[in-house]
């Protein structure tokens, strides 16, 4: 999957979690939970959904690397995806 496809998946899953938020209006370097007004359970649902859609493991130890939209995107793009 290329970078554009990964960003599309991230945006789709964020829209599913927080449908009232316009992703284009958020600060991509701001804390994702605050920018999207999501709680810890929503964040876990997001990580789980992304892991399933992109077929990759996203261990809890890596959550600190997923603080902002940009962090999450960079993290997803850097992870090798299973086939």
Exposure string over 36-51, b if 16+ CB within 10 A, otherwise e: bebeeebbeebbebbe
pLDDT digits (tens, 9 = 90+) for 8-49: 999 999 999 999 999 999 999 999 999 999 999 999 999 999
Is the residue at 48 inside a domain?
Answer: yes
Number of domains composing the chain: 1
Is the residue at 83 inside a domain?
Answer: no
pTM of this structure:
0.90
Which H/E stretch holds residue 42? helix 40-54
Is the residue at 66 inside a domain?
Answer: yes
Is the residue at 68 inside a domain?
Answer: yes
pLDDT digits (tens, 9 = 90+) for 41-78: 999 999 999 999 999 999 999 999 999 999 999 999 99
The enclosing domain of 25 has a CATH number of 1.10.1200.10
Name the residue range of residue 70's domain.
Answer: 3-78
Is the residue at 40 inside a domain?
Answer: yes
């Amino acid at each position: 999957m290329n970078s554009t496809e990964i960003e599309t998946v991230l945006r789709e899953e964020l829209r599913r979690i927080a449908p009232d938020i316009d992703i284009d209006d958020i600060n991509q370097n701001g804390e994702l939970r605050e920018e999207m007004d999501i709680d810890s359970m929503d964040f876990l649902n997001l990580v789980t959904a992304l892991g399933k859609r992109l077929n990759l493991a996203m261990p809890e130890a890596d959550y600190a690397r997923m603080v902002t939209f940009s962090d999450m995107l960079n993290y997803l793009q850097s992870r090798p995806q299973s086939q």
